[in-house]
């Protein structure tokens, strides 16, 4: 294995905390690596020896079965030892601080910590306290970099095809609760880095006040925005938002910002349908759209494993003595 | 009740300090007052201690209207003794201890205890701020009269940390304290608009995914309160003004003749919300750090007098309250020991104003708002000898080791700041010499 700085040229920092850690070339390199590693998942024996003897900790302060399992599968396919550390029922629930937990894991010899946490910036803090690699698996309403990478991977596969390519010329609408979405933040950074044209579609209450600074277009009209799109990314709506007066009712939200067959007819290009999951059927997306031939929602899940293998491989593989 | 009765009698002569007018002067201090003040070279020093103040700037002892000393209750973060020592090192000869202690300073007993602890420490005069409402609950007035008429002689009342949000309670408080010439110091923050707020709402919060604290949540309360103060003809003070919009409202209110005064913290004069990019909660403070535009508006307002004073909002917290996730961290930063340096950097070094204005904003005006009798009287013959000798040319890298505060939530650690307090006199007694603490009174 060549050393890490070669593998990651020109730039991938020691950790993956935010998409802004990546250069355009670095991002494409991850996607290309994922493409290569995807073949492992298709093989009868789904395993590479690359990370044998390395320990990867899944440190999850929020319930997220899908992301945790995806990282676990990725690490195991690279032969790493995986420790799942869930905050519930552990010392964390007895009031241990994130820092103390981090130092404990370090003492146990964790080479990488994959962190899911409800606080924005939690992965940044963790990286300040530990020597190991930190991978952000979702921090509060900040970022979810590997989700954006798997989305970009899925989009490139369908809309571009070849390795080495970016997403220039691709038009994508990201629809829903942008304000509270870490998936949206990471995707805005990554997809724009790769040259895609992004339109955010949401009611004004669910867009951040500083959104004018983002490299995106804003639309309050989904019917209009869907017209020219190559892909539509629907975001999960948290029902508790209704209590804080972000929108009047679930039905009104669904009528204005939900995806259904009627709205799909207004598109000129039969866009791909993406959703990070879990889906609220009948709220942000109708059941028939979720199960539509243009829906790549389940494929996103499969691609998630490949992309996470690539990230683990690139961050951990090269430094193995 | 201050340290004034503990005055030292030993005379001392200061030679060749720069006056606020930029002239070189000699001073003689005895029996707690400035007994002589004349041009440099005129005061001979035989049989008395002499301080050679060549190159040092003479300033009146600073007065802080907004200090969290944490005692009683959170002695792990700060005590009256450690906090007033930090104050002396920062050139303060008077501080006002905020009421949000545990128990809250909402009774005569607690405010007297705080003042007594200050007197025992002897590093600076400690005055107590009384709570406006019982337990800072925002609903029921505390016994304001009992605190005003206690030995602590409270003039400033504040629920700082919490906003007096109920319009009726605020109106009554403003009216009620008129009987003893008190003032309500408002922490202007609409609680509904700032639920779970983490930092200034804007471009940076959008990117960082931290819940926003919008400027309007401060400005709306200030607008309401200046109108209430006008209606009942009462004195209102606005704590830690942080936005350009607040400045405009206060400017309008003053032009109308409303009796409003306002403070700005040193950190709001220097730091911006981009500091949050590190997710290091040492930069988490309430009100939050704002934008460069706000910083510039606050500087201008301080110089033109729209904002009357600088107040530190010195807010010590133990290490564990900051060594955590941003959203879990406590709000606040220490500031007593760096206030003058930060003001020098943002106001003097930027060429916006001069030391005479700084003396007005950090000594005369805050003493007047707090109705202090022995502070803020300037550097004149016969005035109490609460004075500071400050080395404007010094450059220092702020370090944990030198700090007298018990807490280390200092946003300037490892940063180089201009200026160094060399000597602090409290009622004629040297409490800081050559930059270090010496004898408390």
Q: Under CATH, to which class is A145-301 assigned?
A: alpha beta
Q: Are residues B326 and B342 in the same domain?
A: yes
pLDDT of amino acid A129: 93
Q: What is the pLDDT of residue A43?
A: 84
Residue A243, pLDDT > 90, answer no
- In chain A, how long is the greatest CA-to-CA distance? 58
Dig out the tokens for B196 from the structure: 């779970």
The answer to whether B354 faces chain A, any CB pair under 8 Å, is no
Predicted local confidence at residue B401, as pLDDT:
77
A142/B280 CB distance under 8 A: no
- Does residue B402 or residue A207 have the better pLDDT? A207
At A240 the pLDDT is 75
In a domain, B323, yes or no: yes
Q: What is the pLDDT of residues B262-306, one digit of tens each?
A: 999 999 999 999 999 999 999 999 999 999 999 999 999 999 999
CATH label of the domain that carries residue B27: 2.30.40.10
Those residues whose C-beta lies under 8 Å from the C-beta of residue B42, and which sit 6 or more positions away, are B26
Closest chain A residue to the Cα of B210, Cα to Cα:
A120
For residue B6, the model assigns a pLDDT of 66
Among all chains, which residue has been given the structure tokens 């509904």? B192
Decide if B210 is inside a domain.
yes
Residue with the larger pLDDT of the pair B58 and B439: B58
In the predicted model, what is the mean pLDDT of residues B134-149?
A: 98
Q: What is the pLDDT of residue A11?
A: 44
Q: Quick one: B268 and B206 in the same domain?
A: yes
Q: Report pLDDT for A180.
A: 96
Q: What is the tally of structural domains in chain B?
A: 2
What is the CATH number for B265? 3.20.20.140
Query: Does the CB of A171 have a partner CB in chain B at under 8 Å?
Result: no
Q: In chain A, what residues touch B328 (CB-CB under 8 Å)?
A: 119
B265 is a domain residue:
yes
Residue B18 Cα, gap to closest chain A Cα (Å): 46
Task: Check residue A162 and give its pLDDT.
Answer: 78
Domain that residue B342 falls in: 61-369
In angstroms, what is the C-alpha Rg of chain B?
21
DSSP-assigned beta bridge partners for residue B333: B314
The verdict on A209 touching B (C-beta cutoff 8 Å) is: yes
- Confidence at residue B309, expressed as pLDDT on a 0 to 100 scale: 98
The DSSP element (H or E) to which A123 belongs, if any, is helix A122-129
Shared domain for B45 and B150, answered yes or no, is: no
| Residue B228, C-beta contacts closer than 8 angstroms, at least 6 positions apart | B167, B170, B171, B174, B234, B236
The answer to whether B70 and B77 are in contact (CB under 8 A) is yes
- Last-in-domain residue among B317, B334, B369: B369
Q: Is residue B89 part of a domain?
A: yes
The verdict on residue B377 lying in a domain is no
Residue with tokens 């409490």, as numbered in its chain: B431
Which of the 8 DSSP states describes residue A269?
Answer: S
Q: Which residues of A touch B207 (CB under 8 A)?
A: 185, 210, 213
One domain, residues B158 and B87: yes
Question: Tell me, what's the pLDDT at A13?
Answer: 72
Query: Does the pLDDT value for residue A289 go beyond 90?
Result: yes
Look at residue A123 and tell me whether its pLDDT is greater than 60.
yes
Mean pLDDT taken over chain A: 90
Per-residue pLDDT, averaged over B219-248, amounts to 98
Q: Is B51 within a domain?
A: yes
Candidate from B208, B280, B320 with C-beta closest to A120: B208
Q: Which of the following is catalytic: B26, B225, B313, B391? A: B313
Query: For the residues B107-119, what does the mean pLDDT come to?
Result: 98
Same domain, B117 and B235: yes
Which position has the token pair 């593998």?
Answer: A7
- For chain A, percent of residues with pLDDT exceeding 70: 93
Question: Could you tell me where in chain A the CATH 3.40.50.1370 domains are found?
Answer: 4-143+304-319, 145-301
The CATH number of the domain covering residues in A4-143+304-319: 3.40.50.1370
In a domain, B288, yes or no: yes
In tens, the pLDDT along B422-431 reads 999 999 999 9
Query: Chain B within 8 Å of A121 (Cβ-Cβ)?
Result: yes
| Same domain? B324 vs B422 | no
With a pLDDT cut of 90, the percent of chain A lying above it is: 79
* Average pLDDT of every residue of chain B: 96
- Nearest CA to CA, how far is B287 from chain A (Å)? 18
Confidence of residue B399 (pLDDT cuts 50, 70, 90): confident
B158, B49: one domain: no
Judge whether B190 lies within some domain: yes
- The residues that bridge with A115 in the sheet, in sequence order, are A59, A136
Q: Does residue A40 contact residue A47 with C-beta atoms inside 8 Å?
A: yes
pLDDT for position A272: 96
CA A99 distance to own-chain centroid: 25
B313 is catalytic: yes
pLDDT, one tens digit per residue, over B24-51 is 999 999 999 999 999 999 888 777 889 9
Domain end point (choices B369, B399, B429): B369
Q: According to the model, what pLDDT value does residue A321 have?
A: 35
């Amino acid at each position: 294995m060549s050393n890490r700085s070669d593998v990651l040229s020109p730039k991938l920092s020691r950790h993956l905390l935010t998409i802004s850690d990546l250069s355009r070339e670095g991002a494409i390199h991850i996607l290309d690596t994922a493409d290569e590693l995807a073949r492992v998942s298709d093989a009868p024996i789904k395993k590479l020896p690359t990370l044998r003897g390395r320990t990867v900790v899944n440190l999850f302060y929020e319930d997220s079965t899908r992301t945790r399992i995806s990282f676990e599968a990725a690490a195991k396919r690279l032969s790493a030892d995986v420790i799942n550390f869930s905050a519930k029922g552990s010392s964390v629930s007895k009031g241990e601080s994130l820092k103390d937990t981090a130092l404990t894991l370090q003492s146990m010899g964790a080479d990488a910590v994959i962190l899911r946490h409800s606080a924005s910036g939690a992965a940044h803090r963790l990286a300040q306290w530990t020597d190991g690699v930190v991978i952000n698996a979702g921090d509060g309403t900040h970022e979810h970099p590997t989700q954006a990478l798997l989305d970009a991977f899925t989009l490139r596969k369908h809309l571009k095809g070849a390795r080495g390519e970016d997403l220039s010329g691709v038009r994508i609408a990201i629809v829903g609760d942008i304000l509270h979405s870490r998936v949206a933040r990471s995707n805005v950074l990554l997809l724009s880095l790769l040259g895609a044209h992004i339109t955010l579609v949401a009611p004004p209450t669910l867009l951040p006040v500083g959104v004018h600074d983002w490299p995106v277009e804003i639309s309050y009209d989904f019917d209009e925005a869907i017209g020219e799109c190559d892909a539509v990314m629907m975001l999960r709506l948290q029902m508790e938002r209704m209590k804080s007066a972000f929108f009047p009712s679930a039905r009104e939200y669904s009528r204005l910002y939900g995806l259904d067959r009627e709205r799909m007819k207004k598109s000129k290009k039969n866009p791909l349908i993406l959703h990070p999951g879990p889906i609220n059927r009948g709220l942000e997306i109708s059941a028939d759209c979720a199960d539509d031939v243009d829906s790549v929602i389940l494929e996103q899940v499969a691609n998630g494993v490949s992309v996470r293998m690539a990230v683990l491989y690139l961050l951990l593989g090269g430094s193995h003595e | 009740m201050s340290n004034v009765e503990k005055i030292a009698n030993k005379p001392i002569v200061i030679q060749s300090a720069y006056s606020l007018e930029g002239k070189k002067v000699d001073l003689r201090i005895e029996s707690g007052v400035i007994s002589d003040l004349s041009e440099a070279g005129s005061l001979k020093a035989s049989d008395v201690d002499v301080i050679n103040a060549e190159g040092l700037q003479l300033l009146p002892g600073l007065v802080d209207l907004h200090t969290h000393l944490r005692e009683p209750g959170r002695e792990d973060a700060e005590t009256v003794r450690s906090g007033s020592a930090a104050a002396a090192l920062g050139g303060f000869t008077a501080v006002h201890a905020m009421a949000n202690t545990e128990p809250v300073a909402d009774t005569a007993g607690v405010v007297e205890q705080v003042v007594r602890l200050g007197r025992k420490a002897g590093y600076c005069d400690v005055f107590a701020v009384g709570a406006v409402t019982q337990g800072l609950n925002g609903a029921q007035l505390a016994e304001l009269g009992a605190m005003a008429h206690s030995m602590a002689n409270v003039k400033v009342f504040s629920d700082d940390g919490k906003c007096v949000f109920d319009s009726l309670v605020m109106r009554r408080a403003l009216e009620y304290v008129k009987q003893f010439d008190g003032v309500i110091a408002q922490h202007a923050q609409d609680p509904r608009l700032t639920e779970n707020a983490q930092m200034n709402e804007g471009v940076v919060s959008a990117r960082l995914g931290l819940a926003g604290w919008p400027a309007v949540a401060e400005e709306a309360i200030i607008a309401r309160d200046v109108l209430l103060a006008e209606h009942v003809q009462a004195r209102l003070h606005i704590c830690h003004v942080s936005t350009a919009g607040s400045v405009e409202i206060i400017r309008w209110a003053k032009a109308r003749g409303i009796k409003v005064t306002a403070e700005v913290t040193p950190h709001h004069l220097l730091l911006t919300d981009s500091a949050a990019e590190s997710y290091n909660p040492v930069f988490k403070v309430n009100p939050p750090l704002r934008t460069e535009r706000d910083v510039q508006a606050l500087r201008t307002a301080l110089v033109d007098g729209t904002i009357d004073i600088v107040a530190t909002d010195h807010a010590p917290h133990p290490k564990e309250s900051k060594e955590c996730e941003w959203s879990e961290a406590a709000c606040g930063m220490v500031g007593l020991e760096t206030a003058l340096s930060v003001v020098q950097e943002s106001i003097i070094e930027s060429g916006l104003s001069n030391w005479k204005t700084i003396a007005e904003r950090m000594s005369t005006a805050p003493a007047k708002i707090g109705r202090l009798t022995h502070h803020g009287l300037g550097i004149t013959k016969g005035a109490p000898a609460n004075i500071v000798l400050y080395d404007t040319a010094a450059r220092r890298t702020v370090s944990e080791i030198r700090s007298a505060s018990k807490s280390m939530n200092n946003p300037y650690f490892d940063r180089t700041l201009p200026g160094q307090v060399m000597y602090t006199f409290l009622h004629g007694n040297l409490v800081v010499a050559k930059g270090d603490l010496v004898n408390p009174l």
